[in-house]
Amino acid sequence: MNKRLSEKRLLNITLFYLSRYESSTDKVRAMLKRRLKRMATKGEEIPPEAESWIENVIQKVQDYAYLNDDRYAENQVRTLIGQGKSEKFIMAKLKQDGIDTATTKRLIEASGSNEKDRAITFMRRKKIGPYRSKQDPTYFKKDMGTLARAGFSYDTIQSVLSESDLISIF
């Protein structure tokens, strides 16, 4: 037996989702639209006002301060910087989540980290470069490729993999 779709049911779905995950407005909107689509494929009747219910629910949870894009962006930037992600990666990830680039750029600058430090953190986590257990010059190109795919610039890659920086890391 399926429950009838109502604004209250959408609110409950949203509150349950937000109790488990920190999220952005766009991610919540997409989640609710996916739920509506899934309900429709199961044969439930979706009222025409369901789209406006979604916007009302989003407004309510924002008013309750359960949904805050700035807080979400700040947490994501802090987490991604801690993981050693590049600025390019962070910008793309948050843009995908519906956070504007100006906010993301401001948060990255406010963090005080730079691209070189994040690249070193990335190398440590992935155990590449000087953190590789088997030091062999044949891995240099492979490490460059790994860092490039992670979104780091050529200059940053050259800097962190250069001989002088490798000595200072140890």
Question: Do 121 and 155 fall into the same domain?
Answer: yes
162 or 27: which carries more pLDDT confidence? 27
For the cut 60, the answer to whether the pLDDT of residue 4 exceeds it is: yes
Give the integer Cα–Cα distance in Å for 148 and 155: 10
| pLDDT band with cut points at 50, 70 and 90 for residue 164 | very low
Question: Do 55 and 41 fall into the same domain?
Answer: yes
Is residue 25 in a domain? Answer: yes
For the cut 50, the answer to whether the pLDDT of residue 69 exceeds it is: yes
Question: Do 57 and 76 fall into the same domain?
Answer: no
By the 8 A CB rule, do 118 and 86 touch?
A: yes
Question: Do 141 and 165 fall into the same domain?
Answer: yes
Question: Do 155 and 125 fall into the same domain?
Answer: yes
Range of the domain at 121: 115-169
- Domain total for the chain? 3
